[in-house]
Amino acid sequence: MTAQLGWPGGAATAARGLGWPPAPTGHPASSVAAAQATPSLLVSRGTSPPRDPIGLERMESQVSRETAEVPRRPTTLPRPPQTRVLVVANQKGGVGKTTTTVNLAAALAQSGQRVLVVDLDPQGNASTALAVEHDEGVPSSYDVLTGRLDFAQVTVECPDVPNVFVVPATIDLAGAEIELVSLVARETRLRKALDRYLDAEATAGRRYDYVLIDCPPSLGLLTVNALAAARELLIPVQCEYYALEGLTQLLRTVESIREHLNPSLRVGAILLTMYDGRTRLAAGVADEVRRHFADAVLEIAIPRSVRISEAPSYGQTVLTYDPGSPGSRSYLEAASELAAQTQEAS
């Protein structure tokens, strides 16, 4: 079953390692020197990642920001032939779902794409990072799910990042899981409303290129609605112990959604997050994830970075908060890898 999802092995195999990496093979000291000479953003596939693949140590601790950071200018990426709807899901909390959603959205927008972010987490963290209002009662994803309002009535533009549009989440959404249970077609409400909106926008000459749906840390009805609405699943995996724990359950849910609600859903990408090049653990986990999931894993690993975690407290993405930082560059790289998938597919 899981083979259809594009996973090289069964989910059970995938989960067996559960983040306990094999003993690290060691990292040649020269890899740090190499990273310093050419601060490559790429973690090579299939081999042990170098100790500091993006030169993070050097950039964040040894040399001042001004001299160390050379902005990677966003390049214009080709627009996909049709809107790509991605759900960012992992029922573990704190793995980088929201961070990935908002920063990828900003990176894609800066690369010439029109992007819609749908915040489906009652915490509203994506709404905070994108600086859109999400106090209780503000028109939001809750109103769409419960059928009170359409997407067009709740979508607002992100003030700082042109071409990023946001459906905010408010705390009202916390009750939606229960409220939805008694509603008709409770699993496909988001999909129907989203498809209608996307069609209308395309007809009006405002076609979205990407839709990113940020999920809460559970596999409840909100996440099920997101999985039913999307075509592709993007799974952020934190480079920590137990990184793969829970993925079996996520994949089982995905399989069931494919069977019953959304046959076109597929695993689009796995993104390694919070990669700390100073630890052997991160390298070991990254290695293990790549071994299990092979080409589904994006080559870029998002570094653990203070800038990335600081940005939301200023209502910003790292792309606007610190454009030249390794975190910002890594999300631009992830955006271009995603765009390249479109090219490969077409």
Beta carbon nearer to ligand ADP, 83 or 317: 317
Helices 189-203 & 221-229 angle (0-180, nearest 10): 40
Instruction: Give the angle 88-44-324 at the CA atoms, nearest 5°.
Output: 65
Tell me which stretch binds Mg ion (CB under 5 A): 125-133, 167-175, 258-266, 331-339: 125-133
Residue in the structure block whose two tokens are 């601060």: 39
Q: How far apart are CA 336 and CA 339, in angstroms?
A: 5
C-beta of 85 vs 95, nearer to ligand ADP: 95
Name which of 11 and 282 has its Cβ closer to ligand ADP. 282
Backbone angles phi, psi at 11, to 5 degrees: -60, -35
- Of the candidates 228, 263, 289, 226, the one whose C-alpha atom is nearest the C-alpha of residue 49 is 289
Our CB check for ligand ADP shows the closer of 51 and 97 to be 97
Does the protein bind Mg ion through residue 97 (CB under 5 A)? yes
Decide if 211 contacts 198 (C-beta within 8 A): yes
Q: Residue 124, interface with ligand ADP (CB under 6 A)? A: no
φ, ψ dihedrals at 120, nearest 5°:
-115, 15
Residue 93 found at the interface with ligand ADP (CB under 6 A): yes
What is the C-alpha to C-alpha distance for residues 243 and 272, in angstroms, rounded to an integer? 10
Which of 2, 98, 110, 155 contacts Mg ion by CB under 5 A? 98
C-alpha to C-alpha distance for 157 and 121, rounded to whole angstroms: 19
Contact 278, 305 (CB under 8 A): no
Q: Which of 51, 114, 134, 304 binds ligand ADP (CB under 6 A)?
A: 304
Q: Which of 2, 83, 111, 125 binds ligand ADP (CB under 6 A)?
A: 125
Which one of ligand ADP, Mg ion, none interacts with residue 94, CB within 5 to 8 A by kind? ligand ADP
**302 interacts with ligand ADP by CB under 6 A:** yes
What is the closest distance, in whole angstroms, from the C-beta atom of residue 99 to ligand ADP in the complex? 3
Q: Are 236 and 244 in contact (CB under 8 A)?
A: no
Residue 91 sits in the site that holds Mg ion (CB under 5 A): no
Asked if residue 92 binds Mg ion (CB under 5 A), the reply is no
Give the footprint of ligand ADP on residues 30-89 (CB under 6 A).
Answer: none
Nearer to Mg ion, 17 or 312 (CB): 312
Q: Per DSSP, which regions of 162-265 are E strands?
A: 164-167, 210-214, 232-238
Choosing among ligand ADP, Mg ion, none, which partner's interface includes residue 304 (Cβ < 5 to 8 Å by kind)? ligand ADP
CB of 107 to ligand ADP, least distance (A): 13
Distance, CA of 104 to chain centre: 7
Q: Catalog residues that contact ligand ADP under the rule CB under 6 A.
A: 93-99, 125, 217, 273-274, 302, 304-305, 308-309, 327
